[in-house]
Amino acid sequence: MRPQTVLAACAAVVLLAAGCARSGPSGQEEDSPTATASSADFGDLKNVCQKGDAKSAPTQGVTADAISVGVFSDVGFTKKSEFVDAATVFTKWCNELGGVNGRELVATTRDSKLTEVPQRMLEACREDFALVGGGAALDALGVRERLTCLLPSFPAQVSMAGNYGSDLQVASLGGASYSRYAGFYHWLLKDSYPDSAGALGVISGDSAITKLLAGQTNEVLAGSGGTVTYEDLYPAQGVADWTPYAQSIKTKGVRGLVFLGDFTQLAKLEQALTNIGYAPDWIDANSNAYGPAFIQLAGAALDSQNNVADVSGVFPLEKADDNPATKQLVDLFARYAPDAEVTLPAVRAFAAWLLFAKAAGSCGDDLTRRCVYDAATKETAWTGGGLTAPADMSEQDGPIECFNVEKATKDGWEPADFEPDKGAYRCDAPVYRYQGQYPRPVTLADVGKSMNDVK
């Protein structure tokens, strides 16, 4: 995850964590309610959902007829519904095909509303079989409850250090011990803009969470051969006039700038930089800026400011027609949620649903938490049918190998010239293991449990 009052600061954190990226309209007319899904395949995944003759009720949340899952979201606070949208699309599609071995998927939105993570987690612990395709900005506030009740999680997003890499969680997000952005910063500092390496800047929102991120960023930049010469914080509720910050960046001669915060504030900073006639060689806008909203806000500043973003191995949404899985996802959204937009978080959520469904399907009638978790962690090259770069689910604390970079232009986002070597991705990212002392993820042992307790 990249609290005026505690709430205001948390609002800024949520914007960094929640993923505000959006991609093209999906306003096609929805098929008639009586139409059925044409194929159970998704991308290169076969028979994702299927009819069956399940008869047992082996564990909480699983009956002969249905599987109850929870979807965490801060939608009541952010008003951003991408996790809910993805759950709607996937479950409608899957249930038309027969569900998972004939069991209907029933998704319940666990609206944490930013500050209500513990309450929603206790509810999930009483009712759900698993958590799938969601996320909350303050997710670590519920991780101990989740592990105490032995609830598996297949998240689209993990935000806080206490949850990043926590036990009983299967996610293609890289391990907590390693930087996810080592490949990105190596490309910036070694390949594309080597002259920027000696004059880097990091600016972040003034909250404990983003300051932690800034510390990790400083470390990986140094580990990639860079020197940070400018660091600053801005009030997490936002800044009315960014000119003083822009002037400081210019005075320090910053040539590469990492911005950790709300992209609406970044757009204002870039306008201020443009107004004083200064442009770093590059600005890391982070993936939350990946979408048309940032393009519109930044406007003419994009003529002079070079924005790039690591989109973490998700196939470029603006190139959906070039990738069967992404195109299929866009088409499914058009059919089942025509007023929703396909966003970067929605793609990750849908991939999480695919992983869960495939793993659950392999368990047959005896669908237990241990079975679905074990099955998911056997995936060593998971791509969500082609939605993402391959990830090894068997190693939850491992480095990221593949990355891809997007560049902002006045006409929209487009792939940057980062020399991909495996389709849309570059898969030679160096390994950077953090050396600093950061909060560690919560484990089953921390709550007096072990994998032997997972049934």
- Phi first, then psi, for residue 195 (nearest 5°) are -70, -10
Residue, of 16 and 339, whose pLDDT is higher: 339
Classified as helix, coil or strand, 31 is coil
Which residue, 80, 25, 21, 26, is CA-closest to 310?
21
pLDDT, tens digit, 9 for 90 and up, residues 286-319: 999 999 999 999 999 999 999 999 998 999 999 9
pLDDT bin (cut points 50, 70, 90) of residue 172 is: confident
pLDDT, tens digit, 9 for 90 and up, residues 59-78: 999 999 999 999 999 999 99
Query: Which of 36-45, 94-103, 187-196 is least confident?
Result: 36-45
Report yes or no: 108 and 70 within 8 Å, Cβ to Cβ: yes
Query: What's the helix, strand, coil split of the chain in %, to 5?
Result: 40, 15, 45
Average pLDDT of the chain is 92
- Residue 415 is classified by DSSP as E
For residue 173, the model assigns a pLDDT of 86
pLDDT, tens digit, 9 for 90 and up, residues 424-439: 999 999 999 999 999 9
Q: Is the dihedral of CA 384, 110, 124, 161 positive or negative?
A: positive
Which residue, 426, 444, 32, is CA-closest to 192?
426
Alpha-carbon distance of 263 to 285, in angstroms, equals 7
For residue 242, the model assigns a pLDDT of 98
CA-derived radius of gyration, the chain: 21
In sequence order, the 6+-apart residues with CB closer than 8 A to the CB of 242 are 265, 268, 269, 271, 272
For residue 307, the model assigns a pLDDT of 98
Report yes or no: 367 and 360 within 8 Å, Cβ to Cβ: yes
State which H helix or E strand residue 66 sits in.
strand 66-73
Query: Which of 11-25, 302-316, 414-428 is least confident?
Result: 11-25
Q: Where are the beta strands (DSSP E) in 177-322?
A: 200-205, 228-234, 256-260, 282-284, 307-310
Residue 6 has pLDDT above 60, yes or no: no
Mean pLDDT of 211-238: 96
* DSSP codes joined into one string, 70-95: EEEE-HHHH---HHHHHHHHHHHHHH
pLDDT bin (cut points 50, 70, 90) of residue 207 is: confident
- For residue 407, give Cα distances in angstroms to 211, 284, 439: 25, 10, 32
Mean pLDDT of 22-51: 64
Mean pLDDT of 88-104: 98
Mean pLDDT of 218-246: 96
Domain ranges of the chain: 6-27+41-174+316-398, 182-311+401-415
Correct CATH for 6-27+41-174+316-398 of 3.40.190.80, 3.30.43.10, 3.40.50.2300, 3.40.640.10:
3.40.50.2300
Tokens 């009983």 belong to 168
Mean pLDDT of 257-276: 97
Report yes or no: 136 and 74 within 8 Å, Cβ to Cβ: yes
For residue 16, the model assigns a pLDDT of 52
In sequence order, the 6+-apart residues with CB closer than 8 A to the CB of 86 are 133, 156, 345, 346, 349, 350, 353
State which H helix or E strand residue 335 sits in.
helix 324-336
Residue 5 has pLDDT above 90, yes or no: no
- For residue 96, give Cα distances in angstroms to 40, 92, 313, 414: 9, 6, 30, 35
pLDDT bin (cut points 50, 70, 90) of residue 355 is: very high
Q: For the chain, report the end-to-end CA distance as a whole number of angstroms.
A: 31
Residue 23 has pLDDT above 50, yes or no: no
CATH number of 182-311+401-415: 3.40.50.2300
Mean pLDDT of 81-104: 98
Residue 18 has pLDDT above 70, yes or no: no
Residue 121 has pLDDT above 50, yes or no: yes
Residue 213 has pLDDT above 70, yes or no: yes
pLDDT bin (cut points 50, 70, 90) of residue 209 is: confident
Report yes or no: 208 and 161 within 8 Å, Cβ to Cβ: no
For residue 8, the model assigns a pLDDT of 38
Mean pLDDT of 340-357: 97
- Residue 190 is classified by DSSP as I
Percent of the chain predicted with pLDDT > 90: 89
Residue 24 has pLDDT above 50, yes or no: no
Residue 3 has pLDDT above 50, yes or no: no
Mean pLDDT of 257-280: 97
Residue 197 has pLDDT above 70, yes or no: yes
Residue 34 has pLDDT above 90, yes or no: no
pLDDT bin (cut points 50, 70, 90) of residue 208 is: confident
Residue 9 has pLDDT above 50, yes or no: no
- Report residue 219 as tokens: 């470390």
